[in-house]
Structure 1
Amino acid sequence: MDILTIRKKIAAGNFNIVDHALTEAFKDGISVNDIIYCINNGKIIETYPSRKRCLIFSMLNLDIPLHVAVDYSSEEIDIMTAYIPDSRSWIKFQIRKRGKK
């Protein structure tokens, strides 16, 4: 699924945020508005076609990187997790370093 289709579903309210996503986001000081901002302004940096998921990256207003993982296996988008990525595991927060998961 492409980012524009994901954004259309978000704009139409066809999404859920799973508890895990809220827990992880709030631990990092990330709000629901930040998650929506990331999806609306970010780009897909990883795809997981067999799981029908992708990872979206965006920089927040205060130059804070954010990753949001979404599942598009059903009619509604499920936001699975949201977190501030660890710079030790990512190149410019967009490319996973070798051997890092």
Structure 2
Amino acid sequence: MDVGNIIRAIDSQNYHITNHADEEAEDDQLDIEEIFYSVRNGEIIKDYPEDQPHSSCLIYGKNIAGEPIHSVWAYDEENQRAILITVYRPDPARWINWRERRTES
């Protein structure tokens, strides 16, 4: 997946935020602008090409304060629309450098 497509969709206001993502953002006290900022300055750390109805990806980025944010986005190629599936502040106990999941022991 190309993060540029997601950024272009965000910039053209062609996006959808799922109810789940909205609830998770509220739980983690994330506002939409800081989520968008993290995507614009982020990187894809995991692709989910088999997801349906659209492939998706996990993006790691930071907000303007430098705090890590993970967001999962799908991209509807037909409508050039980005879909925010979920978003959260990653737990440092579960991530190495915010990019790689720690293995459970």
TM-score by length of 1: 0.90
Contact 1:68–1:82 (Cα < 8 Å) also in 2: yes
The reply on whether 1:57 has 2:60 as its aligned counterpart is yes
1:49 and 1:86 map into 2 onto residues whose CA distance is 25
Distance 1:9 1:59 in 2: 19
**For structure 1, which runs of at least 5 residues remain unmatched after alignment?**
none
**CA shift at 1:36, angstroms?**
0.9
Query: Which letter does structure 1 place at the counterpart of 2:43?
Result: K
In 2, the alpha carbon distance for the partners of 1:71 and 1:81 equals 10
Query: The residue matched to 1:21 in structure 2 has which SS?
Result: helix
Runs of 4+ in 1 over 3 A off after TM superposition: none
Q: Does 1:85 align with 2:94?
A: no
Give the structure with the larger helix fraction: 1
Query: 1:66 & 1:17 partners in 2: Cα distance?
Result: 16
The RMSD of aligned alpha carbons is: 1.6
How much identity, in percent, do the aligned residues show?
Answer: 32
Secondary structure class of the residue paired with 2:93: coil
Q: Which residue of 2 aligns with 1:36?
A: 36
Q: What do residues 40-62 of structure 1 show as CA deviations (whole Å, max 9, x unaligned)? A: 11110111010101001112222
**Offset of residue 63 of structure 1:** 2.5
3-state secondary structure, aligned to 2:59:
strand
Between the aligned partners of 1:28 and 1:13, the Cα distance in structure 2 is 23
* Partner SS, residue 39 of structure 1: helix
Amino acid at match of 2:66: D
Aligned residue pair count: 100
* Pairwise CA distance, 1:93: 0.9
Amino acid aligned to 2:101? R
